[in-house]
Structure 1
Amino acid sequence: MWSAVRFFCFFVVVFSLLIPDALAKYQDGETVTLWVNKVGPYNNPQETYNYYSLPFCHPGGNAAHKWGGLGEVLGGNELIDSQIEIKFKRDVEKTKVCEIELEADKVKQFKDAIENSYWFEFFMDDLPLWGFIGETIPDKSSDKKHVLWTHKNLVIKYNGNQIIHVNLTQEIPKPVEEGRSLDMTYSVKWIETNITFARRFDVYLDYPFFEHQIHWFSVFNSFMMVIFLTGLVSMILMRTLRNDYAKYAREDDDLETLERDVSEESGWKLVHGDVFRPPQNLALISAVVGTGAQLATLALLVIILAIVGMLYIGRGAIVTTFIVCYAFTSFIAGYVSGGMYSRNGGKNWIKSMILTASLFPFMCFGIGFVLNTIAIFYGSLAAIPFGTMVVVFIIWAFISFPLALLGTVIGRNWSGRPNNPCRVKTIPRPIPEKKWYLTPSIISLMGGLLPFGSIFIEMYFVFSSFWNYKVYYVYGFMLLVFVILIIVTVCVTIVGTYFLLNAENYHWQWTSFFSAASTALYVYLYSIYYYHAKTKMSGFFQTCFYFGYTLMFCLGLGILCGAVGYLGSNLFVRRIYQNIKCD
């Protein structure tokens, strides 16, 4: 009963996120609210502050606040009614909003903001508007003069009774000098258009950037990599292993041939008595594999929802969808983790379950706590309110954790019986020394290169979207790249596992996990290059947020790829040992 209620609530939430705000209709002369949101340095996207932290015209004490969903709050949005009078289809000539008396402290605030290229963000009918506070211009008497834009001109396009587009231009620059008074003014002009409501966000999409030829080429290049790697794995399975199976399948060989085969036997066949030995830190690897399986399902689900529902339209819709879907996919993490832990002889299943349910969320919480402390110290809107943290904790405690527990119990009962093709010997076999390039550490480091190469170009577009004010909308590309990443990761990990077993090293479980997870290491190294070469970010605040958010993303990516690599290698290992004669 409760499960049905939970899933019903889940689909209601997701469905509400997918529907555009088609009810935003106005009558002639009806009030249209202009919401002010935030200001901050243009080069530091996360360093944002309340719009009225600068000494602009402040509305009365009864100004309305608009709080959106969970994702919007986590994104650092705080919409406040500007109380500027705007009526639907009613033009407004140049009208005074207020007068700013430039005292010494206000002059300093405005000059600092202009020096740091402060931009602001407004919203009208959920459409964003951006602009700069002011600019510096050359001056004969001094090096430069700071001017503030004092007039905002709004051109609003409408179709029927719906707003389609809002364009903001700024005029009348006035010098910022102590003792002056500035009149802040605005004007509004309404223009009819034939653009439909469903297409009104197209103007914010950068088609030349995201649909550039290099984007298509990168997908094609990754696809060719998939063909090569799948061919390589097929060759290993169909040729090398087939010959090995033939030796074991022969029943009528004479004694001399059998003795020769035994004396020549080497590689992966010699470790059949140890290859299914439980890995070290069984509870931990079960937890990360279960969490990775959940994150892989979650990523696929969110991408599909974004394709179907155009989640980029709503403020924070992607984040809200991610959190809700994460909670409801916790069952998958518990099921995979519980089954794996039980199959390998684990006894303390509660420990494994708690690790599975809390490992990734608590790692993110730890990073988020540090970043939130920094944001609070700076007084930034990036600081997460206490109430929002409570809501996130409740979602984890009352949805995610119980589902992880349920998944663990079902996984132990349904898929927890040992089913190894070969019996594990009592005494572990010694591992011989091999060439340096066949050691687990080198295989792990090399394993992430090709998966990173398959997503390298897409990482550039994702980073540019998140850190450079571009709306990411090409989720079809992302779906293709995600599928390619999964295939490449599985193939590379299988090849690495085969080389490791041929080196008579049966510790393949953690090696296969880290071999795939090392993809995240290369993504993080790329993020360092991107920070220095592609952005103009500066300051302690933005640097912490950039590398903190990137670390959070790479942890998730590493766990996801590691789990995919382990599960692929596990199927491969079981496949190659199921047809040999195990003692």
Structure 2
Amino acid sequence: MSSSVFSTVGSLSLFAFIVLFLSPAFASESDHKYQPEEPITLWVNKVGPYNNPQETYNYYSLPFCHPGANPAHKWGGLGEVLGGNELIDSQIDIKFKKNVEKGSICQLDLDEAKVRQFKDAIENNYWFEFFVDDLPLWGFIGELHPDKNSDNGKQVLNTHKNIVIKYNNDQIIHVNLTQDGPKPLEAGRMLDMTYSIKWIPTNVTFARRFDVYLDYPFFEHQIHWFSVFNSFMMVIFLTGLVSMILMRTLRNDYAKYAREDDDLETLERDVSEESGWKLVHGDVFRPPRTLVLLSAVVGTGAQLALLVLLVILLAIVGTLYVGRGAIVTTFILCYAFTSFISGYVSGGMYSRNGGKNWIKSMILTASLFPFMCFGIGFILNTIAIFYGSLAAIPFGTMVVVFVIWAFISFPLALLGTVVGRNWSGAPNNPCRVKTIPRPIPEKKWYLTPSVVSMMGGLLPFGSIFIEMYFVFTSFWNYKVYYVYGFMLLVFLILIIVTICVTIVGTYFLLNAENYHWQWTSFFSAASTAVYVYLYSIYYYYVKTKMSGFFQTSFYFGYTLMFCLGLGILCGAVGYLGSNLFVRRIYRNIKCD
């Protein structure tokens, strides 16, 4: 039985390994080298309102001249489809190193319907995206010119596209698009759509050709460096504070609690006067409520922590920001391969706390986060289909994602659960759990689990606050995020701050003689995501010009998905850190 399971998992892993390396996220379909006058394809991609990044449509949803029958489509991989890209061959005649003074694309015959579509697009500030040799070009559909007879201005369509291509030997290095030839939109008019191509040699190497798209002044601004330094100082202060205050307090408690030279009467009097974390030693290792759910979220959070670290390292080494959808493809595949971790952590934790229904725990661990994302994605996909947007995920892509989950992620989670139960599932609590639960005394409001939970996320959020601004701006404002070294430092700082803050919160809770620390430690760390979501609301209304039901739904839907993952990740880190702390402090006291 076990050999067949390992064989199945091994074959599936091999299959996924092959898919991984055949994915366009890691390998180009060509070597990007061309011979003189070799045809170059100009791919048209999408159009949409500039202020609404996710509201994109097929380029030919506007009444541009369509290419011939059955134009070629370029599929760039799973991440590209999920990113809302659909590349279609424009069939514009471009040849390597061959200049074109003025070539004809087509003649555009305008009627009332076409004029209305173009005017609506121009009024909504529609932009478009092309690709040449995997390098993007952007432009606007048209412009609003002042008109004495109209308060809104007069819409004009740009009819000429001037493309400048820089090359180094046999490789394309840079492309640039400018437009002119503005023509008024009038029904019954025939417009000549034209283009020109100019080739210019350059000394820039192929490896540096993407640098022109990176906004160095924005991402490497002094405030970015200062924020990382500030967060680093917070880590030093917080870890020092935890070490100095808690360890000193605990050492004094140990010395007082473990005295051997006092007479029995004095010892009994001191013990009767004791209060705080020592009095709950018979309940502190009592299994938490809804153990199966806590095990699932802790296992999933441990997987997400490893996943984020792995993707950041791959992005640093492999410059994944260069490829369309490369980050998304990498994230999905790495999530599938790291599912063993979620099963191992969840299975071991569930078994150590006396859980019996391990199959339920395994299924919940393997499906909790993917199905939450699927639920949000289903709603957003329905909206995108209703609008006819490229953001709608095709059925075939859904099948591919489901197959990856069903045949890679789920079996690895199953294997991890079995291994976790057998290797790390034995109970090893320092103190025996008493039969009758100890009553929890009333304490001041600031020592209640709800207050401790909400306050716990403030410092972790403060450590990533500035980085959130850069991440949000790159995702929602057309900037390429490339400073993954910054992200790695901030992520490590977040982990350390989260552990320290959660330990402090757990210690305060135990001193209040409240032994329900498991869920409190999880929510104390997970509340970081609540503050991130509140910040996203501020960012939406203050920092962006997004509008409309479509974009608002996608903004808050994607942000909710991100915050759910962040909350589970931080919560798991906080729980695991608190668990080590609790076991450490109760290991050295006398447990009756």
Question: What does residue 223 of structure 1 align with?
Answer: 232
User: 2:97 is paired with a residue of what secondary structure?
Assistant: coil
Report the CA distance between 1:181 and its aligned residue: 1.4
Question: What does residue 41 of structure 1 align with?
Answer: 49
Equivalent pair of 2:16/2:408 in contact (CA under 8 Å):
no
What does 1:470-509 correspond to in 2, within 5 Å?
A: 470-509=479-518
Match of 1:284 among 286, 290, 293: 293
Alpha-carbon distance in 2 for matches of 1:215, 1:15: 34
Q: Which amino acid aligns with 1:329?
A: T
User: 2:163 is paired with a residue of what secondary structure?
Assistant: strand
Alpha-carbon distance in 2 for matches of 1:6, 1:575: 40
Alpha-carbon distance in 2 for matches of 1:22, 1:538: 40
User: 1:299 is paired with a residue of what secondary structure?
Assistant: helix
Equivalent pair of 2:526/2:571 in contact (CA under 8 Å):
yes
Question: What does residue 252 of structure 1 align with?
Answer: 261
Question: What does residue 554 of structure 2 align with?
Answer: 545
Question: What does residue 83 of structure 1 align with?
Answer: 91
1:69 partnered with 2:77: yes
Equivalent pair of 1:19/1:309 in contact (CA under 8 Å):
no
1:24 partnered with 2:27: no
Report the CA distance between 1:5 and its aligned residue: 4.4
Match of 2:522 among 504, 513, 518: 513
What does 1:513-532 correspond to in 2, within 5 Å?
A: 513-532=522-541
Report the CA distance between 1:19 and its aligned residue: 5.1
Equivalent pair of 1:20/1:313 in contact (CA under 8 Å):
no
Equivalent pair of 1:291/1:356 in contact (CA under 8 Å):
yes
Match of 1:187 among 185, 191, 196: 196
Identity %: 85
Alpha-carbon distance in 2 for matches of 1:3, 1:510: 33
Output one character per residue of 1:462-482: Cα deviation in whole Å (capped at 9) or x when no partner. 000000000000000000000
Equivalent pair of 2:9/2:411 in contact (CA under 8 Å):
no
Report the CA distance between 1:95 and its aligned residue: 1.5
Alpha-carbon distance in 1 for matches of 2:518, 2:264: 37
Output one character per residue of 1:328-367: Cα deviation in whole Å (capped at 9) or x when no partner. 1110000000000000010100111110000110000000
1:398 partnered with 2:407: yes
Q: Which amino acid aligns with 1:182?
A: L
TM-score by length of 1: 0.98
Output one character per residue of 1:385-415: Cα deviation in whole Å (capped at 9) or x when no partner. 0000000001111111111010001100001
Q: Which runs of 5+ in 1 are unaligned?
A: none
Output one character per residue of 1:77-131: Cα deviation in whole Å (capped at 9) or x when no partner. 0000000000000000111211111110001000000000000000000000000
Q: Which amino acid aligns with 2:424?
A: S
Point out the more displaced range, 112-121 or 244-253. Answer: 244-253
Question: What does residue 344 of structure 2 align with?
Answer: 335
Alpha-carbon distance in 1 for matches of 2:486, 2:563: 20
Alpha-carbon distance in 2 for matches of 1:461, 1:379: 30
Alpha-carbon distance in 1 for matches of 2:504, 2:257: 23
What does 1:79-478 correspond to in 2, within 5 Å?
A: 79-143=87-151, 144-478=153-487
Equivalent pair of 1:18/1:310 in contact (CA under 8 Å):
no
Consecutive aligned runs of 4 or more in structure 1 exceeding 3 Å deviation: 1-22
Alpha-carbon distance in 1 for matches of 2:265, 2:515: 30
What does 1:534-573 correspond to in 2, within 5 Å?
A: 534-573=543-582
Equivalent pair of 2:48/2:126 in contact (CA under 8 Å):
yes
Alpha-carbon distance in 2 for matches of 1:250, 1:385: 70
Q: Which amino acid aligns with 1:103?
A: D
Q: Which amino acid aligns with 2:141?
A: I
Alpha-carbon distance in 1 for matches of 2:377, 2:21: 28
User: 2:39 is paired with a residue of what secondary structure?
Assistant: coil
Alpha-carbon distance in 1 for matches of 2:150, 2:357: 74
User: 2:400 is paired with a residue of what secondary structure?
Assistant: helix
Q: Which amino acid aligns with 1:365?
A: F
User: 1:500 is paired with a residue of what secondary structure?
Assistant: helix
Output one character per residue of 1:422-444: Cα deviation in whole Å (capped at 9) or x when no partner. 00000000000000000000000
Alpha-carbon distance in 1 for matches of 2:454, 2:410: 33
Alpha-carbon distance in 2 for matches of 1:9, 1:161: 35
User: 1:521 is paired with a residue of what secondary structure?
Assistant: helix
Report the CA distance between 1:259 and its aligned residue: 3.1
Report the CA distance between 1:261 and its aligned residue: 1.9
Alpha-carbon distance in 2 for matches of 1:357, 1:276: 26
Alpha-carbon distance in 1 for matches of 2:15, 2:243: 45
Alpha-carbon distance in 1 for matches of 2:392, 2:308: 26
Report the CA distance between 1:11 and its aligned residue: 4.9
Task: Label 1:19 to 1:216 Cα distance change in 2 as closer, same or farther (>3 A).
Answer: farther
Alpha-carbon distance in 1 for matches of 2:397, 2:28: 24
Alpha-carbon distance in 2 for matches of 1:86, 1:249: 85
Alpha-carbon distance in 1 for matches of 2:443, 2:553: 42
Point out the more displaced range, 464-473 or 97-106. Answer: 97-106
Alpha-carbon distance in 2 for matches of 1:411, 1:152: 61
Paired residue total? 583
Alpha-carbon distance in 2 for matches of 1:211, 1:109: 41
Alpha-carbon distance in 2 for matches of 1:427, 1:223: 45
Report the CA distance between 1:172 and its aligned residue: 1.0
Task: Label 1:137 to 1:65 Cα distance change in 2 as closer, same or farther (>3 A).
Answer: same
User: 2:569 is paired with a residue of what secondary structure?
Assistant: helix
Alpha-carbon distance in 2 for matches of 1:172, 1:372: 38
Alpha-carbon distance in 2 for matches of 1:404, 1:233: 35
Q: Which amino acid aligns with 1:234?
A: S
User: 1:354 is paired with a residue of what secondary structure?
Assistant: helix
Report the CA distance between 1:142 and its aligned residue: 2.2
Alpha-carbon distance in 2 for matches of 1:297, 1:10: 19
Alpha-carbon distance in 1 for matches of 2:236, 2:27: 38
User: 1:557 is paired with a residue of what secondary structure?
Assistant: helix
User: 1:528 is paired with a residue of what secondary structure?
Assistant: helix
Alpha-carbon distance in 1 for matches of 2:66, 2:32: 27
Alpha-carbon distance in 2 for matches of 1:217, 1:175: 50
Point out the more displaced range, 273-282 or 170-179. Answer: 170-179
Output one character per residue of 1:13-61: Cα deviation in whole Å (capped at 9) or x when no partner. 5556345677111010100000000000000000000000001111011
